[in-house]
């Protein structure tokens, strides 16, 4: 499928746009929930998401860009409630994370996009790490450098710095029986795949509360 046709094919499901799906939508403030539901289906917004995904795919798997098929929203996670100005279809405030599954050369992959609404124009799109990482955007940024550093130490220094990238993340599970605790108290493990000069290395990343209301991380090469 050509990139242009892929953008058209990116028809995102709006059901479950918020945690809890329809039931949650019925319970939240209608002053923003219904406009937000409509906005998520706006073709310009959908096209912008598709373009963002294509940019990442051209970097991660350029050989498959012409073969991208299917596009399905898996989750929309609100971080800051959107605000709509009377008479405008696009939010002027708000922040949320889109998780979208596509099929790349026959393999289903997940893309994560951070969307930040702006009062003076279209929302700003930032591609987060691909995969099912549970880390926030800030955690991803904090952990990326040590992940790439430890992978580089194993690989050696023959690979130019511009040829290192994290191409996949995988949630392994919660640790130490914390899965039933509130989110802020959980510990979990992920595997992040780093590609360096055509080779890949898997790095283990353990996240845990830092005692200050946030999280910290420990990285090591996966067994």
Q: Is residue 156 part of a domain?
A: yes
Name the residue range of residue 193's domain: 137-221
Same domain, 88 and 162: no
Query: What is the tally of structural domains in the chain?
Result: 2
Q: Residue 197: what pLDDT? A: 82
Q: Is residue 146 part of a domain?
A: yes
Q: Alpha helices, DSSP H only, in 3-136? A: 3-9, 21-27, 30-39, 43-60
Q: Residue 78: what pLDDT? A: 93
The domain boundary, picked from 80, 102, 127, lies at: 127
Q: Residue 87: what pLDDT? A: 80
The domain boundary, picked from 127, 155, 177, lies at: 127
Distance CA 200, CA 166 (A): 9
Q: Is residue 132 part of a domain?
A: no
User: What is the mean pLDDT, run by run of 10 residues, along the chain of 223 residues?
Assistant: 41 39 47 90 92 91 83 90 89 95 92 95 94 95 94 76 84 96 96 90 96 94 83
- The two tokens of residue 168 are 């996949």
Same domain, 115 and 36: yes
Same domain, 118 and 171: no
């Amino acid at each position: 499928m050509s990139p242009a046709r892929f953008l058209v094919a990116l028809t995102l499901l709006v059901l479950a746009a918020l945690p809890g799906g329809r039931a949650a939508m019925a319970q939240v403030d209608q002053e923003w929930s219904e406009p937000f539901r409509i906005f998520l289906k706006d073709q310009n917004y959908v096209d912008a998401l598709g373009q963002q995904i294509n940019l990442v795919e051209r970097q991660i798997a350029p050989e498959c860009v012409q073969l991208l098929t299917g596009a399905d929203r898996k989750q929309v996670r609100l971080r800051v409630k959107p605000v709509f100005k009377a008479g405008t279809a696009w939010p002027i405030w708000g922040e949320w994370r889109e998780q979208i599954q596509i099929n790349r050369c026959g393999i289903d992959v997940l893309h994560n996009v951070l969307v930040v609404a702006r009062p003076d124009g279209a929302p700003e799109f930032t591609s987060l790490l691909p995969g099912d990482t549970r880390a926030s955007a800030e955690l991803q940024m904090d952990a990326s450098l040590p992940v790439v550093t430890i992978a580089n130490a194993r690989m050696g220094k023959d690979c130019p710095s511009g040829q290192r990238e994290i191409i996949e993340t995988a949630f392994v599970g919660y640790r130490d029986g914390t899965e039933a605790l509130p989110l802020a108290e959980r510990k979990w493990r992920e595997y992040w795949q780093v590609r360096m000069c055509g080779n890949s290395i898997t790095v283990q990343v353990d996240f845990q509360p830092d005692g200050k209301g946030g999280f910290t991380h420990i990285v090591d090469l996966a067994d």
